[in-house]
């Protein structure tokens, strides 16, 4: 059965049937013209949105419907994590090709709602419409944060130390493996981990929120478009420079193995590959111990120190004692590799 055979109202009913009971601060949820939320006392709303377009950001031939739904939400949650905001409510809009199988529709919703339930972020509304072409998934995520604890890109200062979560390059390697048409049954554990990282990214929500609540960092950004892009954007917004230790950048083991196998440079993938949804923090030197304690408290991922903010506004990398400009990160309308996401900010 396709979605056209079922109709809009029945599709909405299928979404509502899968949605858990709303918390009491949601006064009106799915089913009215708009959702009504009771404000969180002493908090401000943090709102972000991202759209994913079939054959630009994902391919149904590569990804399961559940993976597509998961990924559509994860990229939004990563933006909240970078601001230190806890997710509070979600809106989901779908532009659906008429011949989309009903099982695929259900799978996208199930993948989305599974991650939403894990992060305690209720779905409160959205929209369904017909698409004459690709499947389009548009998500709006509403978070909550204390006004003086929000993390911005503009707070870094000369002398701040730079830390990045996790290990970089896995998602870009996973995308390359998919693009090459590699038979996944022949992939080793590290290669499969890269593919999984591409299909099911994890937002570092708890890390971002705990660090923000402890006022342990001065600035933050997610590295969805590569480490180079995040470093340049924080430096520009903060009016400072950065010196990054290229030898210290944590690169995923699977990325190194893939790069060696195809004759590529693993560090270049970490600089510009993107899709990792890790976090880059600037941390005042006096708060380093507090920051590391907050990361341990979050218990979500490791962090690695990779550089320092400088008065000189140059953003450079140092490798084996040699200084060079940091490469340009991914830019959606200038670079044209398939299946990339770009935040409009």
In the beta sheet, which residues pair with residue 136? 53, 95
Rounded to whole angstroms, the maximal C-alpha distance in the chain is: 64
Question: What's the whole-number mean pLDDT along residues 114-133?
Answer: 96
- pLDDT score, position 341: 44
- The token pair at 310 is 């400088």
Helix (H) or strand (E) holding 39: none
- The token pair at 299 is 């218990």
Per-residue pLDDT tens digits for 198-209:
999 999 999 999
Per-residue pLDDT tens digits for 315-344:
999 998 899 999 875 555 555 444 554 443
Question: What's the whole-number mean pLDDT along residues 201-227?
Answer: 97
Number of neighbours of residue 325 by Cβ within 10 angstroms: 11
269 within 8 A of 169, measured Cβ to Cβ:
yes
- pLDDT score, position 330: 57
295 within 8 A of 207, measured Cβ to Cβ:
yes
Question: What's the whole-number mean pLDDT along residues 212-220?
Answer: 98
Q: Which residue has the tokens 């941390």?
A: 283
291 within 8 A of 216, measured Cβ to Cβ:
yes
> In 3-state terms, what secondary structure has residue 2?
strand
Helix (H) or strand (E) holding 305: strand 303-310
- pLDDT score, position 181: 85
Average pLDDT, the chain: 93
Please, which residues have CB within 8 angstroms of residue 183's CB and are 6 or more apart in sequence? none
248 within 8 A of 304, measured Cβ to Cβ:
yes
- pLDDT score, position 332: 54
Question: What's the whole-number mean pLDDT along residues 88-95?
Answer: 97
- pLDDT score, position 208: 98
Q: How many residues does the chain have?
A: 345
- pLDDT score, position 185: 81
343 versus 282: the higher-pLDDT residue is: 282
């Amino acid at each position: 059965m396709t979605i056209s055979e079922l109709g809009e109202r029945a599709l909405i009913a299928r979404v509502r049937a899968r949605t858990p009971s709303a918390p009491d601060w949601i006064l009106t949820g799915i089913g009215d013209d708009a959702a009504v939320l009771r404000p969180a006392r002493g908090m401000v709303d943090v709102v972000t949105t991202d759209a994913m377009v079939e054959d630009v950001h994902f391919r149904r031939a590569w990804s399961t419907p559940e993976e597509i739904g998961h990924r559509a939400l994860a990229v939004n949650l990563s933006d909240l994590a970078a601001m230190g905001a806890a997710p509070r409510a979600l809106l989901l809009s779908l532009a659906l090709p008429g011949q989309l199988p009903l099982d695929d529709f259900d799978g996208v919703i199930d993948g989305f709602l599974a991650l939403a339930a894990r992060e305690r972020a209720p779905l409160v509304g959205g929209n369904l419409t017909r698409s004459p072409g690709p499947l389009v998934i548009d998500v709006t995520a509403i978070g909550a944060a204390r006004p003086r604890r929000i993390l911005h890109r503009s707070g870094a200062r000369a002398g701040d130390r730079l830390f990045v979560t996790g290990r970089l390059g896995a998602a870009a390697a996973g995308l390359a493996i998919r693009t090459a048409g590699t038979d996944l049954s022949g992939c080793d554990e590290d290669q499969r981990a890269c593919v999984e990282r591409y299909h099911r990214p994890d937002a570092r929500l708890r890390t971002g929120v705990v660090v923000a609540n402890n006022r342990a960092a001065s600035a933050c950004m997610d590295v969805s478009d590569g480490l180079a892009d995040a470093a340049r954007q924080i430096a520009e917004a903060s009016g400072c420079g950065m010196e990054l230790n290229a030898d210290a950048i944590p690169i995923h083991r699977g990325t190194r193995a893939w790069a060696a196998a195809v004759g590529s440079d693993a560090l270049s993938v970490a600089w510009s590959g993107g899709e990792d949804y890790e976090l880059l923090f600037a941390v005042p030197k006096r708060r380093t111990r507090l920051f590391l304690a907050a990361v341990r408290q979050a218990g979500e991922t490791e962090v690695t120190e990779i550089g320092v903010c400088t008065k000189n506004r140059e953003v450079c990398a140092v490798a084996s004692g040699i200084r060079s400009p940091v490469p340009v990160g991914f830019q959606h309308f200038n670079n044209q590799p398939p299946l990339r996401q770009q935040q409009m900010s």
